Amino acid sequence: MTESLTRTEAGVVSVRAADGVAVVTIDNPPVNALSDGTLAGLEAVGERLAADDAVRAIVLTGTGSKAFAAGADIEEFNESLADVAWLERHTALTRRVLSLWETLAKPVVAAVQASAVGGGLELALVCDLIVADPSARFGFPEVTLGLIPGAGGTQRLPRAVPQAIARELVMLGSLVDAEKAYRVGLVNRVSELGQAVAEAEALAVRLAALPAVAIRSAKRALQGAGLPLESGLDVERSLFHHVCASADAQEGVSAFVERRPPSFGHR
C-alpha cells in the first residue's frame, strides 16, 4: 500500500490511504486514551473520510503493544470527575464521535493489535468487523473502579454477544482473551501474532474491491436488524430496489451470465 500520511491538528490520529482503503491509527501513548483531543481527532478524520468517495473501506487501529485504545485519559478524568459540566461535555463528545463512526456508510474494520478494554472496547464495538491479535484482551473493568461503561458498552455489547457473556463482562469486570472473544462472537478473526493490522488491511482491500453501492446498502440493511422484523424488511426491500438500479448491479449480473469477471465502477 502506498502511503499518504496526514495527521490531524490534535496530533494523535493519523491516516494513510491508497487504492480505496484508509488506515486510521490512534497514536496517544502509552495506552491511546480517548482524551478529548483524541476524540476530536477521530471526529475530524471520520467526517473527512465520510466525504471522500475515493475511500471505500477503513481500518481503525492503535499504536503500541499496550492497548488498541483505552477510555478517557485517567488523569483528565480524575481531575474532572466531580465537574458535572465537564462530564456532560465529555460524554456528549464521546457519544457523537462513536455514533459518527458507527454510522459511516463505508465498512470499518477494527484491527485490535493490543487489548481493548473500557472505552477501547466501546470503540471497537462500533466497527463492522474486528480482527484481534492473539495477545489482546477484551472487557469492561469499570465496576472495579466504582463506575460503569458510559459510551455505549452496556447497550452495544449485548447486541454483539449472548446476554450471559455481556452480563459477566459488565457486572464482574471480567476480561476475556482473544480466543474466547472469538468463540463468543465478539471478534471475527484472531490473527497470527503481530499480524492484526495486516489481516485487517487484507479484509479492507477485499471490501474495497466489491461494488461500493452494494456494500453500503448491505451495511445499512444490517443496521436495520435492530428494528421490528416488518420494519427491517421494509428497509431491506427499499435498499434492494436501490442496488438493483445501480450500474454495478447491471454489470455484476451481466458478467455472471456471460461467464466473465465483472468490472465494477462503484456506482
Model confidence at 192, pLDDT cuts 50, 70, 90, reads very high
Q: Residue 95 has what pLDDT?
A: 96
Q: Indicate if the pLDDT at residue 79 is higher than 90.
A: no
Q: What is the value of pTM for the model shown?
A: 0.91
Name the amino acid, one letter, at 239. Answer: L
Residues 221 and 82 sit within 8 Å (Cβ to Cβ): no
Q: Report, as an integer, the average pLDDT of 212-225.
A: 94
Digit-coded pLDDT (tens) for 126-171: 999 999 999 999 999 999 999 999 999 999 999 999 999 999 999 9
Q: Compute CA distances 56 → 204, 206, 207, whole Å.
A: 8, 10, 8
3-state helix, strand, coil in the chain (%, to 5): 50, 15, 35
3-state secondary structure 102-124: HCCCCCEEEEECCEEECHHHHHH
Q: What mean pLDDT comes out for the span 200-228?
A: 95
* 247, amino acid identity: A
* H-run or E-run covering 65: none
Q: Catalytic site residues?
A: 72, 119, 122, 142
Q: What is the mean pLDDT of residues 63-75?
A: 86
- Name the band, by pLDDT with cuts 50, 70 and 90, for residue 2: very low
HSE, CB side, 13 Å, CA atoms: give it for residue 53: 4
Q: Which of 46-50, 71-75, 119-123, 222-226 has the lowest mean pLDDT?
A: 71-75
Distances in Å between the alpha carbon of 160 and those of 54, 62, 86, 129? Answer: 30, 22, 30, 11
pLDDT at 75: 73
- Which residue bears the cell 485517567? 74
pLDDT band at 235 (very low <50, low <70, confident <90, very high): very high
Q: What is the pLDDT of residue 67?
A: 94
Candidates 65, 23, 13; CA nearest to 197 is: 23
Strand-pair partners of 137: 177
